[in-house]
Amino acid sequence: MLAEQLQENELAAALAAIYPAAITGGAMAHGELTLHIEPDDILAVLEFFKQQQQFERLSTVTAVDRYPLEPRFEIVYHLQSVARNLRVRLKASVTAEIASATAVYAAANWYEREVFDLFGVVFSGHPNPKRIMMPDDWEGHPLRRDFPTHGFKYSYGEQQ
């Protein structure tokens, strides 16, 4: 069910009419629409926004690590409609894996590689699932909350 706040929103209502089970929550805060999407439905929802709601652009894909909560990763998609001058934020909470959005938006390619590199979330079906920022032989995923800021090599926290 849609929250009351979202029922008045045209986009959220249109999405709920087609995929009633896809929206698990959402909010309208600071003038920005956020929709929480069931991870299994993310491709269908992105397709809906692109084909039916004129969201031509995928602005960015990123992740937020909610460690130690489970599921710990929120994958965040920012879409923009140039024709209608609208923006929407989609979020899907996953533990380790989600479908790649490259089939819908080609721009997702590097952003998903970045999320894979820095958070270790796997994007299934990605055409080139390799590290992008860190060296290829790097171990670990630096933007995880349990990765120390100075790395493991220079961690002074615990004396061995």
Partner 1 sequence: MSETITEPLLHQEPEAGATRRMTLNMGPQHPSTHGVLRVVLELDGEFIEKARPEIGYLHTGIEKQCEALNWQQVITLTDRVDYLANLSNNLCYSLAVEKLLGLEVPPKAQFLRVLLAELTRINSHLVWLGTHALDLGAMTMFFLTFREREDLLRIFEMFSGQRLMTSYIRPGGLALDPPRGWQKPVRAFLDDFPSKIDEYESLLNANPIWLQRTQGIGILPVEEMLEIGITGPLIRAAGIPLDARKMTPYSSYEKFDFKVPTETGNDVFARYTVRMAEMRESLKIVRQALEGMPEGPTRAEAHRVVLPEREKMKTQMEALIYHFKIVTEGIAVPEGEVFQVVESPRGELGYYVVSDGSGKPLRVHMRTPSFGNLQGLPNLVEKRQISDSIAIMGSLDFVLGDCDR
Chain positions contacting partner 1, by CB under 8 A: 29-30, 32, 34, 56-60, 62, 64-65, 76, 78, 82, 85, 87, 89, 105-107, 109-110, 118, 127-128, 130-135, 142-143, 145, 147, 149
- Residue 8 or 32: the one with the smaller Cβ distance to partner 1 is 32
- Helix 10-18 vs helix 42-52: angle between axes, to the nearest 10 degrees? 120
Which spans in the chain are helix H? 4-7, 10-18, 42-52, 108-119
d(CA 69, CA 108): 26
Nearest to residue 67, comparing CAs of 120, 137, 7, 122? 120
- Residue 42 or 118: the one with the smaller Cβ distance to partner 1 is 118
Q: How far is the CB of 109 from partner 1 (least distance, A)?
A: 5
Q: How far is the CB of 20 from partner 1 (least distance, A)?
A: 25
Backbone angles phi and psi of 12, in degrees to 5: -60, -40
Q: How far is the CB of 127 from partner 1 (least distance, A)?
A: 5
